[in-house]
Amino acid sequence: MNYKTQMEAAKLGIITKEIQVVSEKENMDINKLMDLVASGRVVIPANINHTSLSPEGIGEGLKTKINVNLGVSGDCAYYDKEFEKVKLSIEFGVESIMDLSNYGKTNTFRKQLIDYSPAMIGTVPMYDAIGYLEKDLMDISAKDFLKVVEAHAKQGVDFMTIHAGINKRAVESFKNSKRLTNIVSRGGSLLFAWMEMTGNENPFYEYYDELLDILYEYDVTISLGDALRPGSIHDSTDAGQISELIELGALTKRAWDKHVQVLVEGPGHMALNEIAANMTLQKRLCHGAPFYVLGPLVTDIAPGYDHITSAIGGAIAAANGADFLCYVTPAEHLRLPDLNDVKEGIVASKIAAHAADIAKGVAGAREIDNKMSDARRRIDWEEMFSYAIDSKKAREYFESTPPTDKHSCSMCGKMCAMRTTNKILNGEKVEIL
């Protein structure tokens, strides 16, 4: 039997090598995984031309995955620095990297990234359209946009953010909502501008079937972008956001009918008390498709610390059903992140994802925490460092102020609770002086 996508193979009962790998990584029964992929509740983004890929599953019952954004801009067009971020991301074991380059000819960097990376690769073709086509925004035709999508697909991109839901109906809802921060999605704002300047329907909505045909050919997962995601807690869960989400639900089913895998993207900025309800609403309106969230950031007043505001929201979102977290760095809203910003963003997102997996009861999620706790009880520093998300930083902190007694740290010294209890339980005398 012939198939083009992981979803189509699962519908036909074919176990692909990618499904086999994900089943082993997640310790999930392969028949259960097949059912989830066939129904669209799990995706395995795996372009047929991404030969260096180590496949990952995203969705129901699986570990929460994280994505790192990187890429050049007009003000920071240094591909060598971006590739350092790629290497750091791989070292930290991130499952996904999005190349959001929006300046010059990006295809050389993207090819190197796809050839090198075992992590899945995502792009937003809208960002690349002006540079790739060498046309200004208003001069780009609807079919031109599809050419850029096909170019990315041929190179081996595993998933693409396509803002197909911001059609004329959604735009009217946005205009009537009188938002505080309007449209904060870069790709969404460009499409909105193109629609307003040309008077045409969103090309990705108008030619959605042709778009799906391209994605099907290379098994590219469509990540349905939320052009109307809230850019402030004031705008969260408003009519614009929800009207677009309804459109995304309909587009999800149309993609599944063509055996194309689907992710759905979500907010954004959102108050803590709205997050859980939004996760439930998305899953309901989008038929259980995996949910990919940016944050959400739970307050708007922490520039320089938005990796923290994002991790708080991301942990709550994932604990309530989100499947895929896009990292946020301390540089969010301020500048292109540097290497250290990327590291801080990765660690914060990994903490959020892991905390959510524990809350969701993902199989095996607690095991490493139990190992860390056991090592702490025994005061085995080397073992503790080996379990840490950032073992290098943990070691540096410990060694910066070394204790006089190796069975403690410099905070408690000989008054360490672990040391005291261990000695008493071992029948030893506790001496402090």
Q: What is the phi-psi region of residue 329: left when phi exceeds 0, alpha when psi lies from -120 to 50, beta otherwise?
A: beta
How far apart (Å, rounded) are the C-alpha atoms in residues 228 and 163? 9
Q: How far apart, in Å, do the first and last CA atoms of the chain sit? A: 77
Single out the residue of 97, 109, 158, 152 nearest to residue 129, CA to CA.
152
Which positions ≥6 away from 66 have C-beta within 8 Å? 94, 95, 96, 324, 325, 326, 327, 346, 349, 350, 353
Residues annotated in the binding site for substrate, as ranges?
Answer: 69, 98, 127, 163, 185-187, 226-229, 265, 292
Residues in Cβ contact with 341 at an 8 Å cutoff, skipping those fewer than 6 apart: 329, 330, 331
Amino acid at 29: D
The whole-angstrom separation of Cα 404 and Cα 105 is 57
Question: Binding site for Zn(2+), residues?
Answer: 269, 333
The encoded tokens of residue 236 equal: 């969260």
Angle (nearest 5°) at CA 265 between 175 and 244 = 30
Q: How far apart are CA 352 and CA 347, in angstroms?
A: 9
Residues 254, 244 contacting (CB under 8 angstroms):
no
Which pair of tokens denotes residue 73?
């801009």
CA distances from residue 384 to 351, 368, 389 in whole angstroms, order as listed = 16, 10, 10
Give the annotated binding-site residues for [4Fe-4S] cluster: 409, 412, 416
Annotated binding-site residues read 69, 98, 127, 163, 185-187, 226-229, 265, 269, 292, 333, 409, 412, 416
Q: Which residue has the tokens 């009519």?
A: 239
Sign of CA dihedral 110, 115, 121, 125: positive
Distance (Å, whole) CA 251 – CA 314 = 25
- What 8-state DSSP symbol labels residue 200? P
* Dist CA 105 CA 147 (whole Å): 15
CA atoms within 13 A on the CB side of 35: 7
Yes or no: say if 131 and 105 are a contact pair by the CB < 8 Å rule: yes
